[in-house]
Amino acid sequence: MAQLTSRKNSTASSDIDPQKPRARAQVLLEGGFLFLILGGLFLADAARLAGASEPRIVNIYNFVRNSDYRVPHSEDVLYEATRQEIQLIKQAELPATWALQYDALINPRYQKLFKEQLGTNDEIAAWWEIPRPLAEKAGLKWRGQHEWDPAADVGFAPGYTPEERRKLVDVYMADFKAIFGYYPRTAGSWFIDEVTLAYMAERYGIVASCNCKDQVGTDGYTLWGGYWNQAYYPSRLNSYMPAQTKSGQIDVPIFRMLGSDPIYQHGTTPGMWTLEPVYPEAGGSTDWVAWFMNNLIHEPSLAFGFAQAGQENSFGWEAM
């Protein structure tokens, strides 16, 4: 995943103009520098470059669906959100990962947009939700109520048998390579099971993945008790937990998405307190983002400080 890191800096919330994307970026970059990690591989010694004993890393990760039954005129709304995201990140001169769901991958409009607008600092990755076109091309019966259905047993890999999961991966990877000339180096989802993840790594060589933070009841499924923040090597028995032994791990680090508030996004507090910019009390607040980044950069961490920022295009551009 494309990543950036920063030296510790003293940018305060009052210094950030919410109307200026570059000013937002200075929360991370002022007094620091930018470097790229492609597919989760460090191109430099992060700890040394960060000027601290622990590296501080942020992933800018935007995933792209083609349509969303909850959004009127969704194909145009989602495409415009993606196009605007690309322009904003180009203006801020930041690296980013763009993870394509299969229905967006096979849409010529997205293919043209990504080939013409992305730069060398951008990564094109796989977003692992299962829409109807992918299931049917893999020879599977579609059980969803819409072209894309977020139900846990329809839109996510655990709803399919292990052999079906491998077929889905084969179809996606073949089409991705036919379009872009290579296999994606990373794959993300709210949840990727251990069978799918191991197969992607061993057959297609992915080197990093990401999954969702803990959340109860959101989007019709529940994830709870996972590794908090940072990254871990997943178990071959359950990709949501760290492996206990080297022989029992999948050799693909999983990074946790969404940059959650360490207080309010824990337990049963209602609402979504993350770096997603559509939430006005959190990622949509310049002061909150500055507070979050200040804690990430300045406060003590464990092995490293990590957060993920970015957005799903289903929210549309106006909401952001």
The span from the CA of 86 to the CA of 119, in Å, is 10
Enumerate residues 6+ apart whose C-beta is below 8 A from 263.
none
**Average pLDDT, integer, range 304-317:** 84
Angle between helices 194-204 and 162-180 (to 10 degrees): 40
| 252 — pLDDT class (breaks 50, 70, 90) | very high
**Average pLDDT, integer, range 312-319:** 79
User: Over 90: is that where the pLDDT of 169 sits?
Assistant: yes
User: Over 70: is that where the pLDDT of 302 sits?
Assistant: yes
> What is the per-residue pLDDT across 106-146, written as a single tens digit (0 to 9) for each?
999 999 999 999 988 899 999 999 999 999 999 999 999 99
218 vs 254, residue with greater confidence: 254
User: Over 80: is that where the pLDDT of 266 sits?
Assistant: no
Q: Which domains does the chain have, with CATH numbers?
A: 3-315 (3.20.20)
223 vs 25, residue with greater confidence: 223
pLDDT of residue 13: 31
Enumerate residues 6+ apart whose C-beta is below 8 A from 255.
1, 40, 59, 208, 209, 210, 230, 231, 306, 308
Torsion over CA of 211, 214, 216 and 220, rounded to 10 degrees? 0
Q: Record the pTM.
A: 0.81
> What is the per-residue pLDDT across 32-44, written as a single tens digit (0 to 9) for each?
222 233 233 232 3
The span from the CA of 144 to the CA of 150, in Å, is 9
**Average pLDDT, integer, range 178-200:** 96
Poorest-confidence range of 33-37, 139-143, 149-153, 198-202? Answer: 33-37
User: Over 80: is that where the pLDDT of 46 sits?
Assistant: no
